[in-house]
Structure 1
Amino acid sequence: MPEQPSDLVAVANELYGLPLGEFVPTRNTRAKQARKDGDTDLAWAIQGLAKPSLAAWLANIMVRHMADEIGQVLDLGETLRQAQNDLDASQLRELGQQRRRLLSAVVEKGRDLADDLGQQISSGVADQTAESLQAAMADEQAAAALRTGLLVQPMASSGLESVDLDGVVAVPEAVGDRSPARPKKGGRKKSAEKDKEAERRAAVERAEAALADAERQARRAERERGKHEEKVAKLEARALQLRSEIDELRRRLVDQEHALMSTEDRLEAAEDARDSAVAAAEEADDAVADVRRELDRLTSGP
């Protein structure tokens, strides 16, 4: 059916712009409607549209809601590719720094956008989306794939060859011709200078790939550092609290020791007073006994 690709792209544009939880029920509804309209081929094609991964979904909504920022990313990618072709090392270093800053800011804004739409994005998913944007910067066809807003899976670039787009875009026809441009034929062989230039370009591409990998590792290391710093801060606070409690217990122990010493002194004085009282009581009892005996003697006489 000749109109099917266009109709399918229209349905896909709707589906891949929805909140992630609405994708499957809406897809089923659209497929059911196509069958009801008698277009079974379109219905099967709609039913075959895969639900995007979370990282791909984030890239898709960024394309729809952050057109200016995505445009900046792709424009910078075009400039980077031109600098690679020109083998401008100083410009590549400067553009590489711009790329890192821009990707970080754009992806962070994308996470805020997803949060507004009720979808939490983890750091790992954000990294996958950043890799998709970086792939779009490195490869023109990957940039075209990103612009469709129909990603099913995130993209990745090694920096050494074209990005593999198989299974990445829900409707490949939306990207257009993805065949790589063929090199122009010439009657002359490449000169030694051309070979050297090609080697330098390959070296630059390898360095770019190594830089991209190092950046990913740096982001992961930064997240780990943040986790450990947070744990250290909590443990430091707990240690400070325990030290304060121990100091308070020590002060209380000193006070109790002083109170014990005072009580023991008072106890010793009380014991001495008690012993004196006991001795006096015994003497008094003896005196009473003597008086009674004398009284008995006096009263018992003639």
Structure 2
Amino acid sequence: MATDPMAVAADALYALVPEEFTAARNERAADARAAGEKALAKEIGALRRPSPAAWIVNRLARDEPDRVGDLTGLGGELAEAQAAGDGRALGALVAERREVVGDLMRLASSLADAADRTPSRAVLDEVEQTLVAASVSAEAGAAVASGRLVRALRAVGVEVDLAGAVGGGEPGPPRRLGRRPSERAERGTRAERPERSGKRADGASRGAARTTAAERAEEAARHERERLETALAEARERADDDVHALAAASARLDDARRRFDDLETERDELERRLSEVRDVLRPAEREVRIATRAHESAVAEAAHSARARDEAEAAVAELDS
């Protein structure tokens, strides 16, 4: 539980839907300023509204911390298998990550639909890229688990750019980076028992013959095939990510072009209308000038007539008297 005032404010704000974020942030900043905490007010006022994809991932981190923890825990196992050169384990972990990400994507759609915010395909692609990035490094996992993402994340190889990705300062360690002990034990039992029994069977059947050149070559070929299959699985996953990223970029470009075309059309219409108004304005200005001069002349004539009337009335009154 966050105790730092800034972290408390950030946790509360990033729990809101994006439409409520700005007003709530400004209100909290104003409260801090009124309380004399100018530095805190400035920090709160600098918090950025989360993107739609970041908001969905933040909801997952808050509502499904165990499932998000499963994903970030896989990242450590993937790194260990990669370092050990264990192709079989690496392939299995890549496939498992795909399943975990798939489960989280289904949950993400459900959470967004429940909040009446059905996401677009481009937003879901960013959510998926962010979840994959969470399994690449402990820092990315901590950013996702913080529930305070401002923007989507993307892994480039084993690197994830986290600059400005988390609101309210750097996140602490993830809520839970590893698997639940029961899950880890169950998975280990399933994975290890057949292998151990197979090793005993292999030891009994092959014995010293394993050292023959032909079997060594067969073993090397098997390892090479496992390595290539793992590399293929990773290449396919990266290709899928890049296809999704391209689709999102294309959709964004199409939207920008449509907006630009609409604005150009609106500008042309306004320019045409302005030209029409100018054409009407010129004779209207001339008419105003003529009418102004006529009005001034009429005022002068009326004043002269009034003076003549007054003088005549005075003369008549004098004769009568």
TM range (shorter): 0.5 to 0.7
What CA deviation, in whole Å up to 9, does each residue of 1:94-121 have, x standing for no partner?
A: 2111111221121121111111122221
Could you state the TM-score of these two structures normalised by the residue count of structure 2? Answer: 0.55
Using the TM superposition, give the Cα deviation of residue 35 of structure 1 relative to its aligned residue in structure 2, in angstroms.
0.9
Q: Does 1:174 align with 2:171?
A: yes
Counterpart of 2:7?
9
Q: Does 1:212 align with 2:237?
A: yes
Q: Is the radius of gyration larger for structure 1 or structure 2?
A: 1
RMSD (CA atoms): 2.8
What CA deviation, in whole Å up to 9, does each residue of 1:65-98 have, x standing for no partner?
A: 1112111211222221211111111111121111
**Alignment partner of 2:149 out of 133, 148, 151:** 151
Q: How does 1:225-244 map to 2 (within 5 A)?
A: none
Alpha-carbon separation, structure 1, partners of 2:6 and 2:67: 27
**Alignment partner of 1:60 out of 53, 58, 61:** 58
Counterpart of 1:21?
19
For 1:139, the aligned partner's letter is S
Alpha-carbon separation, structure 2, partners of 1:164 and 1:219: 18
Taking CA–CA contacts closer than 8 Å with sequence separation of 6 or more, which of the two structures ends up with the larger relative contact order? Answer: 2
Asked if the contact 2:14/2:21 (under 8 Å) is kept, the reply is: yes
What CA deviation, in whole Å up to 9, does each residue of 1:253-300 have, x standing for no partner?
A: xxxxxxxxxxxxxxxxxxxxxxxxxxxxxxxxxxxxxxxxxxxxxxxx
Change (3 A) 1:21 1:205: farther
Using the TM superposition, give the Cα deviation of residue 156 of structure 1 relative to its aligned residue in structure 2, in angstroms.
0.9
Using the TM superposition, give the Cα deviation of residue 216 of structure 1 relative to its aligned residue in structure 2, in angstroms.
2.4
What CA deviation, in whole Å up to 9, does each residue of 1:219-260 have, x standing for no partner?
A: 6899xxxxxxxxxxxxxxxxxxxxxxxxxxxxxxxxxxxxxx
Structure 2 SS opposite 1:64:
helix
User: Equivalent pairs: percent with the same residue?
Assistant: 31
Counterpart of 2:313?
none
Using the TM superposition, give the Cα deviation of residue 207 of structure 1 relative to its aligned residue in structure 2, in angstroms.
6.6
Q: How does 1:1-302 map to 2 (within 5 A)?
A: 6-160=4-158, 162-175=159-172, 210-216=235-241
Alpha-carbon separation, structure 2, partners of 1:206 and 1:44: 48
For 1:58, the aligned partner's letter is I
Alpha-carbon separation, structure 1, partners of 2:46 and 2:4: 16
Change (3 A) 1:220 1:31: closer
Asked if the contact 1:62/1:110 (under 8 Å) is kept, the reply is: yes
Using the TM superposition, give the Cα deviation of residue 210 of structure 1 relative to its aligned residue in structure 2, in angstroms.
3.2
Alpha-carbon separation, structure 1, partners of 2:26 and 2:229: 48
Using the TM superposition, give the Cα deviation of residue 39 of structure 1 relative to its aligned residue in structure 2, in angstroms.
0.6
Using the TM superposition, give the Cα deviation of residue 173 of structure 1 relative to its aligned residue in structure 2, in angstroms.
3.2
Could you list the runs of 5+ residues in structure 2 that have no partner in the other structure?
174-227, 248-321
Alpha-carbon separation, structure 2, partners of 1:205 and 1:171: 38
For 1:120, the aligned partner's letter is T
Asked if the contact 1:59/1:149 (under 8 Å) is kept, the reply is: yes
